[in-house]
Amino acid sequence: MSEHPNPHPAPEADEPLPLEPTHDHPIAGHRYDGIREYDNPMPRWWVMIFWATIIWSPLYILGEYVFDWIPTYSERLAAQTERLEATRTAYTAANPTFSTEPAALAEYATNPDHAAEGAALYATTCVACHGDKGQGGIGPNLTDDYWIHGGTPEQVFAVITKGVLDKGMPPQEATLTDEQRGQLVAFIESIHGSNPPGSKEPQGDKAEG
């Protein structure tokens, strides 16, 4: 093996494998297809970290199951749920409640400002199935007089809230607040009778009055 001059000269050694590590002495008899081996000590930091992980491991297990230092899945879930509930309670307390009474909803739905808010929500949540102008697509036309599940603000609000899973309408109860769903109802009311191009054929029953 050709040796280039280097700061760690490899002296020939002809002694059995020592019990204590040596520094840059090749081990006698260890020649494998020209490869020799030193018996340098293992780096101290390496040994220390290895021991640290070995000691930490049983402590972690005991900490989780015996000493209760580390929360389990269910404890973590309970803590997070509690935190979320507190956030929601605080928000409701700080903001006026939105009434879902039929009369209040009908009143809310006539406000053009609410309809404008609803238009923005419609564009992200509803547009894929009901079309960009409410003309319908996968889902029914929202601009005509025909409704599958009823066309009053109260009924439209219920459909948005609970969905119609048989027909592929997803519930928005968990993703939109009551008020946001009210804004959507306002938007849908505002496009009634707009008869956009490409309107889907009527589905359901003609709404009375």
Partner 1 sequence: METPASPTPAQTARRAPAQLDVFRYDDGIVRMFVIATVTWGIVGMLVGLLIAVQMPFWKANLGPYLTFGRLRPLHTNAVIFAFAGNAIFAAIYYSTQRLCKARMFSDVMSRVHFWGWQAIIVAAAITLPLGLTTSKEYAELEWPIDLAITVVWVVFAVNFFWTLYKRREPHMYVALWFYIATIITVAVLHVGNSLAIPASLFKSYPVYAGVQDALVQWWYGHNAVAFFLTTPFLGLMYYFLPKAAERPVFSYRLSIIHFWSLVFIYIWAGPHHLNYTALPEWAATLGMVFSVMLWMPSWGGMINGLFTLRGAWYKLRDSVVLRMFVIGITFYGMATFEGPLLSVKSVNALSHYTDWTVAHVHAGALGWNGFIIFGMIYWLVPRLWRTELWSPRLANWHFWLGTLGILVYIIPMYVAGVTQGLMWRAFDDAGRLVYPDFMETVTQIVPLYWVRVVGGSMYFTGVLLAAVNLTMSIRNAPKLLPDPAVAMPLSPAGRHGGDGGHAALAD
Q: Please, which residue, 88 or 206, has the CB nearer to partner 1? A: 88
CB of 35 to partner 1, least distance (A): 5
> Which residues, including other chains, have CB under 8 Å from residue 30's CB and lie 6 or more apart?
17, 36, 37
- DSSP state, 70? S
Contacting positions for partner 1 (CB under 8 A): 1-4, 6-8, 10-14, 16-17, 21, 25-30, 32-43, 46, 49-50, 53-54, 56-58, 60-61, 64-65, 72-73, 84-85, 87-88, 91, 95, 124-125, 174-177
Q: Please, which residue, 13 or 109, has the CB nearer to partner 1? A: 13
Q: Are 142 and 188 in contact (CB under 8 A)?
A: yes
CB of 86 to partner 1, least distance (A): 8
CB of 77 to partner 1, least distance (A): 10
* Torsion, CA 39, CA 43, CA 48, CA 49, rounded to 10: -110
d(CA 55, CA 188): 64
Backbone dihedral angles phi then psi of residue 89, each to the nearest 5 degrees: -65, -45
CB of 80 to partner 1, least distance (A): 10
Q: Please, which residue, 122 or 147, has the CB nearer to partner 1? A: 122
Cα–Cα distances (Å) from 75 to 29, 58, 129, 138, 177, in that order, read: 59, 20, 40, 43, 28
CB of 21 to partner 1, least distance (A): 6
Q: Please, which residue, 61 or 116, has the CB nearer to partner 1? A: 61
Q: Please, which residue, 58 or 209, has the CB nearer to partner 1? A: 58
Radius of gyration of the chain (CA): 36
